[in-house]
Amino acid sequence: MHFPWWHVDYLTAPMLIAFVSVVHVLVAHYAVGGGLFLAVEVTHAYRTHNRDYLAYLRRHAKFFVLLTVAFGAITGVGIWWTIGLASPLATRVLIRTFVFAWATEYVFFILEIVSAFIFYHYWGRLPEKVHATIVWIYGISAWASLVIIAAITAFMLDPGKWPADHDFWSAILNRQALPQIISRTGGALLLSSLYVYLHAALTIKDAKLHALIESRSTRPALLGAVLITVGGVLWHVLLPPSAQAALYAAPVLNVLMALLFAATGIVFVLLFFGPYRNPGWIHTPGFAASVLLFGVIGMSTAEFIREAVRKPYICYNVVLGSQMLPDEVTRVRRQGFLESGPWTRAFVQAKYPQVVSGDGHIDRTRLLALPKAGQIELGGVIFQYHCNDCHAVRQGYSPVGPLVQGWTPAMIRALVQDLDRTRFTMPPWAGTPEEAELLVAYLADVSPPRPVGMLPAEPKTGAR
């Protein structure tokens, strides 16, 4: 409402955030867990004077730096890029609230970059103790970054007292922070082990070395599994009631939860039957790739669920999916949705000057006097700014047309006027009754007719 809305056909703009975030998270968690893995293992290898293991760790460090410093960093910046485009109001609130948290995370990021390059490029030249210290600087900095970012993303699910006091500490020390830090730390440890398994399976021939890598990387994997379980349980217990309800009420989330449990369970089972009971299995690239694949599926699903349970909010109780603040709803209802947003108002002023009064404001009483095509177009404007955050139009991501397929205008009207009561995962309607009629006209226009030939046959009009 406050900013122009970016219309991305079929997908919807926020789905780009989901896509970039999931891709980033798969590398970012490895950047943390892999850093800690390298820190622990390089220290161990130096202490035990294991040259073969050090040589492997050096090869792994090259893969690690190539993936995390380039791909991880760019996709991380990519999230910023995308949230600013697809969710500018929430981004504005987050950035103004957490600017110094992000600045602090940036400080750790500097340390990560410098230490990662020095650790890798000066391998074999730095004294062992200094070299190990530098990789520990990397590992600790990366984990500190995770803590800060996890706390910020947790705020989006439970802002605590922040809506009342707007205090930084209320925001960062929210109830969801600890569960997310625990589960993300676990995810980082587990995922890094899965990356190591695959990398080792592809690059190591020596069985003895393989056995060592396997036993060393299974420990963080198991610790990660425990942390994921503990963090996940805490996350669920501390979810706001609406988010808990959404988990069970939304069919897509039911399916995703089942997928998450299945993928996580498969990873745990594979870890048990693989590295624990049948150590040789993990040496094969196919098995190692399968474990990583299920880990990736589990983590991607968890990210998607984390995003989806917030509905109808982008930030729980702070920014609604309709791109407005909760305390703006009453004013917008009174003032009119089209009138309240600068871009919607400008659209009406430019295209339908006949509904604009002498003082430049939109006269709501003239809206329904527009020709039908004009009403549908303005309904489309309202849809874009009020609904397109979660719904595509005719096809694509949760398209609204098929959702109201076969509905009568009266049914659509009832839905629009009581959006949040019909579905608590939808934001409250924030427009005048006249604007509701415009939206009804638009939705009726984009919805396909009820499919023909269904039994029992529909009674003909006037039959009752």
Q: Are 39 and 47 in contact (CB under 8 A)?
A: no
Contact between 81 and another protein by CB under 8 A: the answer reads yes
**Contacts to another protein from residues 231-270, by CB under 8 A:** none
**Contacts to another protein from residues 148-177, by CB under 8 A:** 166-169
**Contacts to another protein from residues 57-76, by CB under 8 A:** 66, 69-71, 73-75
Size of the site for another protein (CB under 8 A): 77
Contact between 341 and another protein by CB under 8 A: the answer reads yes
Residue whose token pair is 């690239």:
285
Contact between 97 and another protein by CB under 8 A: the answer reads yes
Contact between 345 and another protein by CB under 8 A: the answer reads yes
Exposure string of 195-218, with b = 16+ CB inside 10 Å and e = fewer, is: bbbbbbbeebeeeebbebbbebbb
Task: Please say which residue, 305 or 387, places its beta carbon nearer to another protein.
Answer: 387
Helix (H, G, I), strand (E, B) or coil at 320: strand
Residues 6+ apart with CB under 8 A from 350: none
What is the rounded CA–CA span in Å between residue 109 and residue 70?
A: 13
Task: Please say which residue, 97 or 300, places its beta carbon nearer to another protein.
Answer: 97
Contact between 102 and another protein by CB under 8 A: the answer reads yes
Nearest distance from C-beta of residue 185 to another protein, angstroms: 20
Residue from the set 34, 35, 78, 312 that interacts with another protein by CB under 8 A: 78
Contact between 5 and another protein by CB under 8 A: the answer reads yes
Nearest distance from C-beta of residue 332 to another protein, angstroms: 11
**Contacts to another protein from residues 358-377, by CB under 8 A:** 377
Task: Please say which residue, 166 or 421, places its beta carbon nearer to another protein.
Answer: 166
Task: Please say which residue, 80 or 273, places its beta carbon nearer to another protein.
Answer: 80
* Single-letter residue type at 265: G
Residue whose token pair is 């230490």:
115
Helix (H, G, I), strand (E, B) or coil at 198: helix
Residue from the set 229, 317, 335, 349 that interacts with another protein by CB under 8 A: 349
The number of CA neighbours under 13 Å toward the Cβ of 158 is 22
Contact between 192 and another protein by CB under 8 A: the answer reads no
| Helix (H), strand (E) at residue 400 | helix 400-403
Nearest distance from C-beta of residue 408 to another protein, angstroms: 24
The one segment of 152-160, 213-221, 242-250, 338-346 that binds another protein by CB under 8 A: 338-346
Contact between 384 and another protein by CB under 8 A: the answer reads yes
CA nearest to 441, candidates 376, 352, 369: 376
The pairing of strands 319-320 and 313-315 is: antiparallel
Task: Please say which residue, 214 or 377, places its beta carbon nearer to another protein.
Answer: 377
The one segment of 209-217, 344-352, 416-424, 454-462 that binds another protein by CB under 8 A: 344-352
Contact between 101 and another protein by CB under 8 A: the answer reads yes
For residue 373, report the phi and psi dihedrals to the nearest 5 degrees: -60, -40
What is the rounded CA–CA span in Å between residue 422 and residue 218?
A: 48
Contact between 342 and another protein by CB under 8 A: the answer reads yes
**Exposed / middle / buried, residue 140 (Cβ in 10 Å: 0-12, 13-18, 19+):** middle
Q: What would the two tokens of residue 229 be?
A: 């379980």
**Contacts to another protein from residues 431-450, by CB under 8 A:** none
Task: Please say which residue, 276 or 343, places its beta carbon nearer to another protein.
Answer: 343
CA nearest to 168, candidates 106, 108, 101: 101
Contact between 401 and another protein by CB under 8 A: the answer reads no
What is the rounded CA–CA span in Å between residue 385 and residue 338?
A: 9
Nearest distance from C-beta of residue 225 to another protein, angstroms: 32
Task: Please say which residue, 92 or 219, places its beta carbon nearer to another protein.
Answer: 92
Nearest distance from C-beta of residue 118 to another protein, angstroms: 5
The DSSP symbol for 363 reads -
